[in-house]
A and B are shown apart, each in its own frame.
Chain A
């Protein structure tokens, strides 16, 4: 059974700090990895995607992938109250249109003033 695991939180960080969100996955053939942000009652929105080992940076967000450890993380620098949301890790086992995503249960992030 394919699993994606996240700590449900809440993860509380002060404004301006770095928030670190972690995700592990069980299917070794997973190829595509995504981080989504979901506000309460809303649909997920894509924050980052990463396909190869290492770091990928986009603004205040950095995704890190380690396929050997089956681990993917998301760092949010200079956290803002508007970053308070649930962050979903999603994993796909194939690339292109044939793939479907398996989501983790999400980590709730709270950025405090």
Chain B
């Protein structure tokens, strides 16, 4: 149980385009989802907390207009990287929490911007 599906697993896009990443909780309802970014050999950095039916809460230094988060239902949150640039290339990971404190992670999305 408690499976989080993240799609796509890999994406390559050209600079200036936008990319949408989906995060779905398959067998539980997630009122809160978290989006992380991880650069090579670095730790996970929390980008934003996604709340169902309300605006996301962004961490300091994360541009909300560049990283658009939508949490329209209890099982789906999306992250859209707008006008992507090479420095946005990273590993993006979503996670969701069920009724307990444990976080369930998606498999991550490797974004490469050329």
Contacts and interface: CB of A to CB of B under 8 A. Distances in A.
Majority-rule SS of B interface residues: strand
Contacts of A45: 105
B113 interface: no
B75 interface: no
Interface in A5-50: 8, 32, 41-46, 49
Interface residues of B, number: 22
Interface stretch (A56-64, A65-73, A89-97): A89-97
A96 B103 CA distance: 11
Interface residues of A, number: 22
A100 B34 contact: yes
B43 A88 contact: yes
A105 interface: yes
A49 B102 contact: yes
B95 to A, nearest CB: 8
A103 B31 contact: no
Nearest to B34: A100
B97 interface: yes
Given A45-B105, A97-B97, A101-B46, 17 more contacts: A41-B91, A41-B108, A42-B108, A43-B93, A43-B106, A43-B107, A46-B103, A88-B43, A88-B44, A92-B101, A97-B32, A97-B99, A97-B101, A100-B34, A100-B46, A103-B44, A105-B42
Interface of B: 31-32, 34, 41-46, 49, 91, 93, 97, 99, 101-103, 105-108, 110
Interface of A: 8, 32, 41-46, 49, 88, 92, 95-97, 99-106
